[in-house]
Structure 1
Amino acid sequence: MNFIYINQNILDNLFYILVSILIYYILLDHGKRLSQYVRTLITACMSIPIILCMKFPIYIDEYCVHDLRQIPFIIGTLYGGWPVGSALLVIILSFRFAFYGFNLLTLIVYIVIFIITALFSSKFKNFNRKNKLNSSILLILCLGILTSFISLAMSDHFRITEAYVFYFIILPPFIIGLAVYIMEILKDAIIIRTQMIRLEKMEVVSQLAASISHEVRNPLTVVKGFVQLLKAPDLTQEVREQYIQHVVRELNSAESIISEYLAFAKPALEKVENISINREIGYVIEMIKPLANMNLVTISNQLAPGITRGNIQHFKQCFLNLIKNGIEAMPNGGELNIVSYVNNFDIIIEISDNGVGMNKEQINRFGEPYYSSKEKGTGLGSMVAVKTIQTMNGTLHLTSALNKGTTISITLPVYQEDHSGK
């Protein structure tokens, strides 16, 4: 093979073909509406390199001009079948005759290429990647030889030169092999990514279902047991009241779990209002102090005034979960420090403990459904907290070290009322 034939014109033609393939798969992957019009899309994307290849051809010698228009034409017909092939045939002949004038031999050659390729396309679509690669190379090689014999038979001026053999017989199989290989790689990548997204969604659903069923079953089992005990005829009123209190407590526990799940599942906040950071977090601290005292945990706070926007109930539930996590991370007691301050247009809230800490995996999986660093945890509390902060256009950053403690830093946007009267 004489490599002096590889010139800029060939590289330009190759560039048109490969870029059009990439554009086709980018549009197919990111344009959900366009994916419904695959044949129209591939027709448009393959017609561009056809036109550009003819507009900027390969000059073999002073008597012969060639280009690689047949490659996008064959690719479009193989992947799109008769409809795409017919449209591309009209495009290729229309622009060919517009650029260089009518030629009967060109008309016959491309009709032959279209018919053979279209007939083969139905089998081609069912091949695996290896067979598609081999069959496309063999097809274009056979078509090159066949159309060369047709040209020899119909034209007295047609000559087969060394340059012609290289450009029309040898080079196209390499290029179409590369093009088909890239198309198959990109198609498989899109399919694999779609399957992964579907599997991730199914995994989240299964994790949530398992989490809810597991947590709700425990209080319901307790309720069932006490209801059975209530059937005893010799119960005193005092014992009966105790059993009923246990039943109510466990039902409230089940209701709380379901409420946390619903808070996570809601796509948006129901009621958005001004939230005073220092006031609402102060309420949460007062609510949770009994639990902190039971666990020998001291809560200290430095809360600067600041206003953000969101749902107050969800906000308090979010910080209740985060502060409760901090308390439970110190089974032998310790100190929990809560600080808030305003930094330009953001409110920063930091919750720090000196508890057991978290490893790298626990940090990365914080907020995942059905994942918790606690032995009996479900991950729902952390999941609800992360969801609430995201809904309020905030961010959550977590730093931790084993046996040293954890610091959760929440950033929320400052709400500034417009007093201009506009």
Structure 2
Amino acid sequence: MNFIYINQNILDNLFYILVSILIYYIFLDHGKRLSQYGKTLITACMSIPIILCMKFPIYIDEYCVHDLRQIPFIIGTLYGGWPVGAALLVILLAGRFAFYGFNFLTVIVYIVIFIITALFSSKFKSFNRKNKLRSPILLILFLGILTSFISLVMSDYFRITEAYVFYFIILPPFIIGLAVYIMEILKDAILIRTQMVRLEKMEVVSQLAASISHEVRNPLTVVKGFVQLLKTPDLTQDVKEQYIGHVVRELNSAESIISEYLAFAKPAIEKVDPISIDREIGYVIEMIKPLANMNSVTICQQLTPGTIRGNIQHFKQCFLNLIKNGIEAMPNGGELRIASYVTHDDLIIEIRDDGIGMNKEQIHRFGEPYYSSKEKGTGLGSMVAVKTIQTLNGTLHINSASGKGTTITVTLPAYDEDTSAK
């Protein structure tokens, strides 16, 4: 029964130490202001288990009382340096005298521990993890043997027993090894989390830059196509003005895209309007025809009038990306069929090509940034399309097989202006 009681006291002392370490790293990680006062923080956190260990010691027998106060004292000195060690030494001695009275031998023993640990702490910070785990174990083992020798020489009543060897010399190295290991794990976890936050920020910047270049490339591709058509001889003035009008509209579209991304850090309220899908998709088809002609692709359209509600610019950009993907999926030419129809309260838009198709993995990963089946693709066009459809409260379904073409079905909630007015 006495053995069980002793083990319970050891676990209590260990609990005080580990909880204080956890509290220290919680404050260090989440308290930005407190992290500036690292030495004060570790002093406060390590002084708590010192006091608690002395208040609730390990009663080995009626002549031998022990506790693990030296472990938080040594840890605080190793991680905080000699200023933290000096503050903990004062707290430790004050608590010792308050609980058990003055003892000159105790003062000598802990001053020796402080001096050796403080001298060792300057090298401790430069150690790798393996040496940081090994060195405190060897240090506390050495200090246990040294202080036992000092006590044996200076005290006539001091005796070394088997219980003393186990609890004073053998047990502390295992506990300090565990404590230092946990501290290093928590410190690495905080460091890794900080690095991940930094990498996520860099990833956002990278995606933003790639998105700008990708989204601007689409209207510039249309501009390039119409500029090449303007070189065609025997064009009438009306046709030239029509082509120039398309060029101006697409340049304005590129300018609008750049403006939206520049306002990314301070976004404005998104403008929502009724969208006539047959008119806007028809406009997108007219814009993309030069690219289709360059790839020997014929576009067949069968658009039923219908209205949804959303951002017109985003809607056009979404279907420009999807139609462009369909054209690029047919490098040897083919037919791209675009149809829309109304069912109940939904508008269905289908884009069907006779291209190379997609396998199951490509279908599953459709819309992921930086994933594309195209050799020079970024996947950002598909990502923008998927996000836009989700914003419009719609769904996107892909039916495809390698070598058999692809059918993309977009379902969007219909908008009835008359009903909404009521």
Q: Provide TM-score, normalisation by structure 2.
A: 0.71
Q: Does the 8 Å CA contact 2:304/2:342 hold for their aligned counterparts?
A: yes
Q: Name the amino acid aligned to 1:69.
A: R
Q: For residues 326-341 of structure 1, what are the structure 2 equivalents within 5 Å? A: 326-328=322-324, 332-333=336-337, 335-336=339-340
Q: Secondary structure at the match of 2:367?
A: coil
1:345 is matched with which residue? none
Distance 2:137 2:313 in 1: 64
**Alpha carbons of 1:240 and 1:176: their partners in 2 closer, same or farther (altered >3 Å)?**
farther
Distance 2:411 2:147 in 1: 71
Q: Name the amino acid aligned to 2:164.
A: Y
Asked whether 1:267 is paired with 2:265, we answer yes
Q: For residues 260-339 of structure 1, what are the structure 2 equivalents within 5 Å? A: 260-264=257-261, 266-271=264-269, 275=272, 280-291=273-284, 295-298=299-302, 315-328=311-324, 332-333=336-337, 335-336=339-340
Deviating more after overlay: 194-203 vs 140-149: 194-203
Distance 2:344 2:258 in 1: 28
Deviating more after overlay: 124-133 vs 44-53: 44-53
Displacement of 1:138 in angstroms is 0.8
User: Per-residue displacement from partner, 1:210-242 (whole Å, max 9, x unpaired)?
Assistant: 554577689889999999xx9x9xx99979998
Q: Does the 8 Å CA contact 2:57/2:65 hold for their aligned counterparts?
A: yes
- How many pairs were matched up? 383
Distance 2:60 2:148 in 1: 16
1:344 is matched with which residue? none
1:150 is matched with which residue? 150
Asked whether 1:39 is paired with 2:32, we answer no
Q: Name the amino acid aligned to 1:282.
A: I
1:418 is matched with which residue? none
Q: Secondary structure at the match of 1:333?
A: strand
Q: Name the amino acid aligned to 1:68.
A: L
Displacement of 1:33 in angstroms is 3.1
Distance 2:247 2:375 in 1: 20
Aligned-pair identity in percent equals 64
Q: Provide TM-score, normalisation by structure 1.
A: 0.71
Q: Does the 8 Å CA contact 2:349/2:410 hold for their aligned counterparts?
A: yes
**Which structure has the larger Rg over C-alpha atoms?**
2
Distance 1:193 1:298 in 2: 52
Distance 2:68 2:377 in 1: 64
**Alpha carbons of 1:27 and 1:222: their partners in 2 closer, same or farther (altered >3 Å)?**
same
Q: For residues 64-83 of structure 1, what are the structure 2 equivalents within 5 Å? A: 64-83=64-83
Q: For residues 18-33 of structure 1, what are the structure 2 equivalents within 5 Å? A: 18-33=18-33
1:366 is matched with which residue? 367
Q: Name the amino acid aligned to 2:367.
A: F
Distance 1:113 1:395 in 2: 68
Distance 1:239 1:302 in 2: 34
Deviating more after overlay: 370-379 vs 122-131: 370-379
- Structure 2 residues not aligned, in runs of 5+: 287-297, 328-335, 414-422
2:416 is matched with which residue? none
Q: Does the 8 Å CA contact 1:297/1:330 hold for their aligned counterparts?
A: no
**Alpha carbons of 1:410 and 1:131: their partners in 2 closer, same or farther (altered >3 Å)?**
farther
Distance 1:396 1:159 in 2: 82
Q: Secondary structure at the match of 2:275?
A: helix
Q: Name the amino acid aligned to 2:150.
A: I
Distance 2:100 2:412 in 1: 68
Q: Name the amino acid aligned to 1:154.
A: M
Please give the root-mean-square deviation of Cα atoms over the aligned residues, in Å.
4.7
Q: For residues 181-330 of structure 1, what are the structure 2 equivalents within 5 Å? A: 181-209=181-209, 212=212, 253=250, 256-257=253-254, 259-264=256-261, 266-271=264-269, 275=272, 280-291=273-284, 295-298=299-302, 315-328=311-324
1:10 is matched with which residue? 10
Distance 2:184 2:136 in 1: 12
Displacement of 1:406 in angstroms is 5.2
Distance 2:95 2:7 in 1: 24
Q: Name the amino acid aligned to 1:283.
A: S
Displacement of 1:49 in angstroms is 2.1
**Alpha carbons of 1:10 and 1:380: their partners in 2 closer, same or farther (altered >3 Å)?**
same
Displacement of 1:118 in angstroms is 1.1
Q: Does the 8 Å CA contact 1:303/1:338 hold for their aligned counterparts?
A: no
